Chains A and B, each alone.
Chain A
């Protein structure tokens, strides 16, 4: 069936200035993740015993750390590992949680009950101890460390996608599809998925921010990455150890993490504002203006928009 361009939430998201800034920041991060280690002005591992705890200078734009290594280079080179591991955790959570959350609504009461109890149980686990236990069992490494983080993110995806699916599975158009003999798979594919995806996308952005913090926190604890491999969390952690000698130092990696997390959250917010259930499903949410003439005026505006 042919499809014309319609108002898609994705395109209108970029009309918001906050979303544009967020996308620009994330583009820079992605760029750094790909080219950061090659573009780094100096070797992230080069020790300079003569320049410890230096503040920003023309030679070291963001200063040096406790071994005299260039902080800018370490952050640039550490981007890839930080981002990739965060992606790993989010990917694991998304792949396990979201499909189950959508499916559980259609798989009967017993399955739904059991799946919810498992999610409850996972959510009570203290994440750090879980991560420590898993790395103890599987050997220390950032990839192993992110596995438990991903598993602990799964219930979040499960809950969110289940709630969204539940809302849309009760819609009358789903009933209409069932009356036409549509199977559960058809209902999910045609009617539910498209409406649940924005919610899942928002959760992904939020979870990515969370995972980035988790990576930083785990490396800070010494789980995951072995020194001297640079990561954002690793830089932050070592800076905190020498807080008395260079109190300003942790702010640099901290700000980078905060900006990235903030951009992800801003993008998620913008997407929710634009594609949120309210806008897509009732043309006018304000009951005061829910009247024939304004509705028609809005429809006329829509017509013009599509014609243009």
Chain B
């Protein structure tokens, strides 16, 4: 099923993280559902990658697979040249204690132990790793808290006693204290209001700049990603449908789903100054029925531009330098869309 087209790397250096041909099935027996299909993703040092997609697209599962909370059925995950997807037991614990890959969970209220203090939470990784005395840990905790802009005065609070934005920063500080070389953030801003959202995103961008830390930000909000990401990867029903530089993808998306996501994003500017609205991109009753069946393009059922060729899943193909999309009609649909009526 996999049709991973190798991307020319940004630099001569190999990617820091290389996910290749990953299939993930969750559940057993008749409840088993394939959540990821043939997912390939490379992350280079110092870049911010936005991973977008709707609920159930598999973006969280991909992050959990990378950190080893979910075992892929197929494919492998390499970090800095060594495979980390097959590790088990003591070897896996050693790799985890190195703190190289850190995941910031979506909901800090659930991922921070309510009975621990902020200092205990942030220092947990260091305490587990051992080799540091209480004072050294305490210094490193203050250091991590400072990096996320939290005062040391908060260190004795419980997660329930600080605000939502502060909780999210504690969650990031816990990851930073481990000394990561790659940071994965699962919906770090979805529960926050606009000001706090921008604050966290700026914080992440600042971490990338100061530590050259590559960051994967999972989000369903394209507009806020546009502000800080270098690359955007669009996931739809467990497959990557588009992957490219943010400025190019957002100025002329090559997959109709990416375009639909963009057109759906609310904006304080008046509607209609964008080239395409949701009505250009939604199926209507007038459209010919899409091809169906197990091998059809995952987006065909919602795509107004689906044709007979879409009865087979298109592979990710290079559409420009460092830019791939999985659409049979990536050249034509844009023009077809602009001819569709603006309103239903």
Answer whether A and B are interacting partners. Answer: yes
What are the residues of chain B within 8 A of A171 when measuring CB–CB?
A: 110, 113
Q: Which residue from B99, B114, B124 sits with its C-beta under 8 Å from A280?
A: B114
Binds B, one of A142-150, A157-165, A179-187, A204-212: A179-187
What are the residues of chain B within 8 A of A306 when measuring CB–CB?
A: 157, 161
In Å, the complex CA distance between A216 and B129 comes to: 53
Minimum C-beta distance from A70 to chain B (A): 51
Minimum C-beta distance from B181 to chain A (A): 15
What are the residues of chain A within 8 A of B156 when measuring CB–CB?
A: 2-4
User: With A1-B134, A183-B93 given, is the CB distance from A302 to B161 under 8 Å?
Assistant: yes
In Å, the complex CA distance between A145 and B155 comes to: 52
Q: Do A172 and B97 have beta carbons less than 8 Å apart? A: no
A175 close to chain B: CB less than 8 A: yes
What are the residues of chain B within 8 A of A177 when measuring CB–CB?
A: 124, 128
In Å, the complex CA distance between A190 and B113 comes to: 9
User: Chain A CB within 10 Å — which of B95, B102, B115, B178 has the most?
Assistant: B115
User: With A171-B110, A175-B69, A299-B163 given, is the CB distance from A181 to B97 under 8 Å?
Assistant: yes
A303 close to chain B: CB less than 8 A: yes
How many A-B pairs fall under 8 Å by CB? 89
Q: Do A195 and B124 have beta carbons less than 8 Å apart? A: no
Q: Which residue from B67, B134, B158 sits with its C-beta under 8 Å from A179?
A: B67
Minimum C-beta distance from A182 to chain B (A): 5
User: With A4-B156, A172-B105 given, is the CB distance from A181 to B115 under 8 Å?
Assistant: no
In Å, the complex CA distance between A29 and B67 comes to: 55
In Å, the complex CA distance between A172 and B112 comes to: 8
In Å, the complex CA distance between A173 and B115 comes to: 11
User: With A1-B123, A190-B124 given, is the CB distance from A173 to B111 under 8 Å?
Assistant: yes
User: Chain A CB within 10 Å — which of B67, B97, B128, B163 has the most?
Assistant: B128
What are the residues of chain B within 8 A of A6 when measuring CB–CB?
A: 158
What are the residues of chain B within 8 A of A195 when measuring CB–CB?
A: 115
B230 close to chain A: CB less than 8 A: no
What are the residues of chain A within 8 A of B102 when measuring CB–CB?
A: 179
In Å, the complex CA distance between A178 and B160 comes to: 22
User: With A181-B93, A299-B161, A306-B161 given, is the CB distance from A173 to B113 under 8 Å?
Assistant: yes
Q: Do B113 and A179 have beta carbons less than 8 Å apart? A: no
Contact with B along A246-287 (1 / 0, CB 8 A): 000000000000000000000000000000000011010000
B57 close to chain A: CB less than 8 A: no
In Å, the complex CA distance between A1 and B125 comes to: 14
B174 and chain A: residue at smallest CB distance: A176
What are the residues of chain A within 8 A of B98 when measuring CB–CB?
A: 181
What are the residues of chain B within 8 A of A176 when measuring CB–CB?
A: 103, 105, 111-112, 174
- Secondary structure at chain B's binding surface: helix, strand, loop or mixed? helix
Q: Do B160 and A299 have beta carbons less than 8 Å apart? A: yes
In Å, the complex CA distance between A76 and B230 comes to: 80
Q: Do A180 and B96 have beta carbons less than 8 Å apart? A: yes
B318 close to chain A: CB less than 8 A: no
A191 close to chain B: CB less than 8 A: yes
In Å, the complex CA distance between A283 and B128 comes to: 29
A296 close to chain B: CB less than 8 A: yes
Q: Do B158 and A172 have beta carbons less than 8 Å apart? A: no
Q: Do B94 and A181 have beta carbons less than 8 Å apart? A: yes
B119 close to chain A: CB less than 8 A: yes
In Å, the complex CA distance between A182 and B92 comes to: 11
A59 close to chain B: CB less than 8 A: no
B138 close to chain A: CB less than 8 A: yes
B117 close to chain A: CB less than 8 A: yes
A109 close to chain B: CB less than 8 A: no
In Å, the complex CA distance between A178 and B98 comes to: 13
What are the residues of chain B within 8 A of A181 when measuring CB–CB?
A: 93-99, 125, 128-129
Q: Which residue from A3, A180, A191 sits with its C-beta under 8 Å from B125?
A: A180
User: With A6-B158, A302-B161 given, is the CB distance from A179 to B69 under 8 Å?
Assistant: yes
Q: Do B120 and A180 have beta carbons less than 8 Å apart? A: no
B107 close to chain A: CB less than 8 A: yes
User: With A1-B134, A280-B114, A306-B157 given, is the CB distance from A179 to B96 under 8 Å?
Assistant: yes
In Å, the complex CA distance between A79 and B119 comes to: 47
Residues of A22-41 at the interface with B, using a CB-CB cut-off of 8 Å, are: none
Residues of A130-176 at the interface with B, using a CB-CB cut-off of 8 Å, are: 171-173, 175-176
In Å, the complex CA distance between A306 and B153 comes to: 13
In Å, the complex CA distance between A1 and B69 comes to: 29
Minimum C-beta distance from B133 to chain A (A): 12
In Å, the complex CA distance between A1 and B128 comes to: 14
B116 close to chain A: CB less than 8 A: yes
Q: Do B134 and A180 have beta carbons less than 8 Å apart? A: no
In Å, the complex CA distance between A280 and B157 comes to: 15
A306 and chain B: residue at smallest CB distance: B161
What are the residues of chain A within 8 A of B99 when measuring CB–CB?
A: 180-181
Q: Which residue from A172, A179, A283 sits with its C-beta under 8 Å from B160?
A: A283
Minimum C-beta distance from A16 to chain B (A): 22
A180 and chain B: residue at smallest CB distance: B125
Q: Do A281 and B114 have beta carbons less than 8 Å apart? A: yes
Q: Can you pick out 20 interface pairs between chain A and chain B where the beta carbons lie within 8 Å of each other? A: A1-B119, A1-B123, A6-B158, A172-B107, A172-B111, A175-B69, A176-B103, A177-B124, A177-B128, A179-B67, A180-B97, A180-B99, A180-B124, A181-B94, A181-B98, A186-B128, A190-B124, A191-B115, A302-B161, A306-B157
Top-7 shortest CB links A-B? A181-B97, A181-B96, A180-B125, A173-B113, A172-B111, A4-B156, A172-B110
Given contacts A1-B120, A181-B95, A186-B128, 15 further A-B contacts (CB under 8 A): A4-B117, A172-B110, A172-B111, A173-B111, A177-B128, A178-B96, A180-B96, A180-B99, A181-B97, A181-B125, A190-B113, A191-B113, A194-B115, A299-B161, A303-B161
